[in-house]
């Protein structure tokens, strides 16, 4: 039986709290305690390790648990995980480094590669046995489509790898219409393959280029394969091939001249030289010409040009008497008519040809260096096929080949953006670094900033196109800390500016008060504290705050002295009145005769106002209570002072129950007696265990009297709390049911703990439910009481938990 609350009793047999934790008392699925100790002292940590392929809930491969009084602090868990796999010709779209069971990893193939199903993207799932598949991408190949019967490909194969160049020629008697070579890219063969025709047509004059012109004088007719070169007007940038070709009566695609918005800064200074006078701004294509001072010779181009906001390289002005000579070429170069000359002066020309070749070449000596460089490479110069038509780019179809080092500037279609550079370069007979034209992504609503608003009238549902620029405006008293514009770039806004508060000048002055510490300037958010002169007090918070060029409302200094004392009914001050009272001063009041103070007796002066209200209550009593079947034998008065008594007598044949006198106590009469028939009276009410009546016990109670019972703390009353005297007998009294004690020792005995640990419920009243759970490493015994039980008159049916056994 569980003892109810009361004085502590000596336990016959105490259950000691655990001082150590055992390694064997905890089982870690897919993990193990990684230390050699078998037992751990209280508050000692033990490290555990997850098996290969498993991690903790925090994504780590190991963790720790602590030995507590009730066992280990937690049950460790090791969950299945997958590391970032090794990709073959692919890359992950996710940025995470580890994945738990059933997580999905999306990947995409590198350019020129695809999966075995022909897709460039894929996904794999982390499962019990690792990843569901290996992310492998295979090199994409180009297939040769059905070609003109008179067209001869070189080399002729079914498949071509990315980067391979395929050349074409026509059979005898036919002319090629289109490029003489194409290249295999990750998006296929490009440009379009040529055809062969017996007869080809000529072209009319070349088309006009908006914001550009043809370099040479135009003709009325151009033969098939003739070429025309274009240039853009100043401030415009050429995009696409700068040459077009007549192909069977039609010209290939024109380039585009787009306006370049960037400008160059001041003209750089040239040592020993000067430039023609001009003033900024300088736009794309603007050129400035330099002249060297007397006795100096210019090396390099005479003019510099503004390109993409940067000036091209400056020339040099070298003293004429210090110009270097050029040495004669090596033996593989044959110099015409100058075989005996060993050195060449600056600006002199040398004509030569390479051994084994008939082509005549020339070079000019520029301050000790040949221009162009004198080389006789035995390797044949490789030409690149016409540049490719990249998906989603502007039409730039051309049939011309390009030399090594030549570049073509690309332009994407409307609503597409170029990635990985705007230019492609011809290198070793192939086009390198092919960019992408990706679709522009709009932005959602721009970011909000504190103390600022965005200058836009669009609704929250509308989006903003890529490249949109928006500006902010700050509230009064704030200024933008940086550039006020943000730009939408591929679905994301650039970082917004901040509105920073402006500083304040001197804080406002107040009557009868000053600022505690002054300064010449105050930063936004800075506070100042005011203090009042003698006899004045702060009305409100004593501070003012800088809110950007203006201050918050300062406090006021009000007179704190109080003047005349307040008057209260039936009360007067105990001390002599004064003309004024300082803030904080108190005055005590006393009540008139037959009146008693009800509550505080003082008033306090606080900032010129009196606080407190003494109340004097009348302590006299009016007429005494009327008692049935009785009369008053004392002298009757209109008012009775506190302490005065009145005596009663019962009329015959009634008997008095209770005191024969009543007394006036502070305006109230004590309990009057009763005059009743003595037949059927009762003695004292019966006592009950752990309870008592709420009134004083009398020796005799008249018929129909009643008393009320109340149980001790934590005991539950069962039955009617009120009993009545009838026919000389009391009705049945109630019972006080005991509470149940739930001690740590009892719970340890049954290997259980309270389910709701936050309650820490050590006592439960009768009828209250209690719910337990098994301790870690234990489970409910098959013949146990349920884990949820109810307290009944101090008794609980405790559930029993037994140690969990695991198969080895």
Question: How far is Cα 407 from Cα 599, in angstroms, rounded to an integer?
Answer: 99
Same domain, 246 and 280: yes
Of 576, 593, 618, the domain-final residue: 618
Kindly state whether residue 192 falls inside one of the protein's structural domains: yes
Of 271, 298, 319, the domain-final residue: 319
Same domain, 611 and 684: no
- Give the pLDDT score at 669: 92
Same domain, 636 and 728: yes
Question: What single DSSP character describes residue 689?
Answer: T
Kindly state whether residue 2 falls inside one of the protein's structural domains: no
- Give the pLDDT score at 5: 40
- DSSP letters of 486-510? EEEETTEEPPP--EEEPPB-SPPPB
- Give the pLDDT score at 338: 54
Whether omega before 191 lies within 30 degrees of 0, making that bond cis, reads: yes
Same domain, 122 and 150: no
Contact between 680 and 730 under an 8 Å Cβ cutoff? The reply is: no
Determine if the pTM surpasses 0.75.
no
3-state secondary structure at position 682:
strand
Contact between 579 and 506 under an 8 Å Cβ cutoff? The reply is: no
Same domain, 166 and 113: no
Beta strand extents in 722-767 (DSSP E only):
722-726, 729-730, 735-737, 740-741, 752-754, 763-764
Kindly state whether residue 1 falls inside one of the protein's structural domains: no
For the domain that residue 94 is a member of, what is the CATH number?
2.10.70.10
CA-nearest of 231, 205, 227, 208 to 218 is 205
Give me the average pLDDT of each 10-residue run along the chain (808 residues).
38 50 86 86 89 83 88 87 86 82 88 82 87 86 90 91 92 93 91 93 95 92 94 89 93 90 88 86 86 92 86 91 85 60 83 73 86 72 88 87 88 88 89 89 91 83 88 90 88 91 92 89 92 86 91 90 90 90 90 88 89 91 91 89 91 86 91 84 90 88 90 88 89 91 87 75 82 90 91 90 74
Same domain, 224 and 282: yes
Indicate the number of domains in the chain. Answer: 9
Kindly state whether residue 703 falls inside one of the protein's structural domains: yes
The pairs formed by 375-380 with CB atoms below 8 angstroms and a separation of 24 or more are: 376/332, 376/333
Question: What single DSSP character describes residue 566?
Answer: P
- Give the pLDDT score at 510: 93
Same domain, 291 and 251: yes
- Give the pLDDT score at 515: 92
Question: What single DSSP character describes residue 358?
Answer: -
Contact between 738 and 5 under an 8 Å Cβ cutoff? The reply is: no
Residues 222-232 as b or e (16 or more Cβ within 10 Å = b)? bebbbebebeb
Contact between 628 and 657 under an 8 Å Cβ cutoff? The reply is: no
Question: How far is Cα 209 from Cα 361, in angstroms, rounded to an integer?
Answer: 35
Kindly state whether residue 360 falls inside one of the protein's structural domains: no
Same domain, 67 and 161: no
Same domain, 635 and 707: yes
Of 294, 319, 344, the domain-final residue: 319
Kindly state whether residue 361 falls inside one of the protein's structural domains: no
Same domain, 613 and 702: no
- Give the pLDDT score at 3: 39
Kindly state whether residue 757 falls inside one of the protein's structural domains: yes
CA-nearest of 54, 56, 110, 109 to 83 is 54
Residue 426 belongs to what domain range? 141-199+382-439
- Give the pLDDT score at 757: 63
Place of tokens 């030995």: 67
Question: How far is Cα 468 from Cα 482, in angstroms, rounded to an integer?
Answer: 18
Same domain, 673 and 706: yes
Same domain, 802 and 772: yes
Backbone torsion region of residue 198, taken as left when φ is above 0, otherwise alpha when ψ lies between -120 and 50, otherwise beta:
alpha
């Amino acid at each position: 039986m569980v003892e109810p609350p009361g004085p502590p009793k000596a336990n016959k047999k105490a259950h000691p709290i655990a001082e150590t934790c055992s390694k064997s008392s905890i089982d870690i699925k897919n993990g193990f305690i990684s230390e050699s100790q078998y037992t751990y002292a209280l508050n000692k940590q033990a490290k555990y390790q997850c098996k290969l392929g498993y991690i903790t809930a925090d994504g780590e491969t190991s963790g720790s648990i602590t030995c507590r009084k009730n066992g280990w602090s937690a049950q460790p868990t090791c969950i299945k995980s997958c590391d970032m796999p090794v990709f073959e010709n692919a890359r992950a779209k996710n940025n995470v480094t580890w994945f738990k069971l059933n997580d999905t990893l999306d990947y995409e193939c590198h350019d020129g590669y695809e999966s075995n199903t022909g897709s460039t993207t894929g996904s794999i799932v982390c499962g019990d046995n690792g990843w569901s598949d290996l992310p492998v991408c295979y090199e994409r190949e180009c297939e040769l489509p059905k070609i003109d019967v008179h067209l001869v490909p070189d080399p002729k194969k079914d498949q071509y790898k990315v980067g391979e160049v395929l050349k074409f020629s026509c059979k005898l008697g036919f002319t090629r219409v289109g490029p003489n070579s194409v290249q295999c890219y990750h998006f296929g063969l490009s440009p379009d393959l040529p055809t062969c025709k017996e007869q080809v047509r000529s072209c009319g004059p070349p088309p006009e280029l908006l914001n550009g012109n043809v370099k040479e004088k135009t003709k009325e007719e151009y033969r098939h394969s003739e070429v025309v070169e274009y240039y853009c007007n100043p401030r415009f940038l050429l995009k696409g091939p700068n040459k077009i070709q007549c192909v069977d009566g039609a010209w290939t695609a024109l380039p585009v001249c787009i306006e370049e918005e960037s400008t160059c800064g001041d003209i750089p200074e040239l040592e020993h030289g000067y430039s023609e006078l001009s003033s900024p701004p300088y736009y794309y294509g603007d050129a400035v010409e330099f002249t060297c001072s007397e006795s100096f010779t210019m090396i390099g181009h005479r003019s510099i040009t503004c390109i993409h906001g940067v000036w091209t390289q400056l020339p040099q002005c070298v003293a004429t008497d210090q110009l270097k000579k050029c040495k004669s070429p090596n033996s593989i170069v044959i110099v015409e008519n100058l075989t005996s000359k060993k050195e060449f002066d600056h600006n002199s020309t040398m004509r030569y040809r390479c051994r084994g070749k008939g082509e005549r070449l020339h070079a000019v000596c520029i301050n000790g260096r040949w221009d162009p460089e004198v080389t006789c490479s035995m390797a044949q110069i490789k030409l690149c096929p016409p540049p490719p038509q990249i998906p989603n780019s502007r039409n730039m179809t051309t049939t011309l080949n390009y030399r090594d080092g030549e570049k073509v500037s690309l332009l994407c279609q409307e609503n597409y953006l170029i990635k990985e550079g705007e230019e492609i370069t011809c290198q070793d007979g192939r086009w390198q670094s092919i960019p992408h034209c990706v679709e522009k992504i709009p932005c959602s609503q721009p970011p909000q900033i504190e103390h600022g608003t965005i200058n836009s009238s669009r609704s929250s549902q509308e989006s903003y196109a890529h490249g949109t620029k928006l500006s902010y405006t700050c509230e009064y008293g704030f200024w933008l800390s940086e550039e006020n514009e943000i730009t939408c770039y591929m679905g994301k806004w650039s970082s917004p500016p901040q509105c920073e508060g402006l500083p304040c000048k001197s804080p406002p002055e107040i009557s009868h008060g000053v600022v505690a510490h002054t300064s010449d300037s105050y930063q936004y958010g800075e506070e100042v504290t005011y203090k009042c002169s003698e006899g004045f007090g702060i009305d409100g918070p004593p501070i003012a705050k800088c809110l950007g060029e203006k201050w918050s409302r300062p406090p006021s200094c009000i007179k704190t002295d109080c003047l005349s004392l307040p008057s209260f009914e039936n009360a007067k001050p105990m001390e002599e009145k004064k003309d004024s009272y300082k803030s904080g001063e108190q005055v005590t009041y006393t009540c008139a005769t037959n009146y008693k103070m009800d509550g505080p007796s003082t008033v306090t002066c606080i900032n010129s106002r009196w606080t407190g209200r003494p109340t004097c209550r009348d302590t006299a009593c009016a007429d005494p209570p009327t008692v049935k079947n009785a009369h008053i034998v004392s002298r009757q008065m209109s008012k009775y002072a506190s302490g005065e008594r009145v005596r009663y007598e019962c009329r015959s044949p009634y008997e008095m129950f209770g005191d024969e006198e009543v007394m006036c106590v502070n305006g109230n009469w004590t309990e009057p007696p009763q005059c009743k028939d003595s037949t059927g009276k009762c003695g004292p009410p019966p006592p009950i265990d752990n309870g008592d009546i709420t009134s004083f016990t009398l020796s005799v109670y008249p018929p129909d009297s009643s008393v009320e019972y109340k149980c001790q703390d934590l005991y539950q009353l069962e039955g009617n709390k009120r009993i009545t005297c009838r026919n000389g007998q009391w009705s049945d009294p109630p019972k006080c049911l005991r509470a149940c004690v739930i001690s740590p020792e009892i719970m340890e005995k049954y290997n259980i703990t309270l389910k709701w640990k936050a309650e820490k419920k050590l006592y439960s009243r009768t009828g209250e439910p209690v719910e337990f759970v098994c301790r870690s490493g234990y489970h409910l015994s098959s013949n146990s009481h349920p884990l949820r039980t109810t307290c009944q008159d101090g008794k609980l049916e405790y559930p029993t938990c037994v140690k969990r056994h695991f198969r080895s």
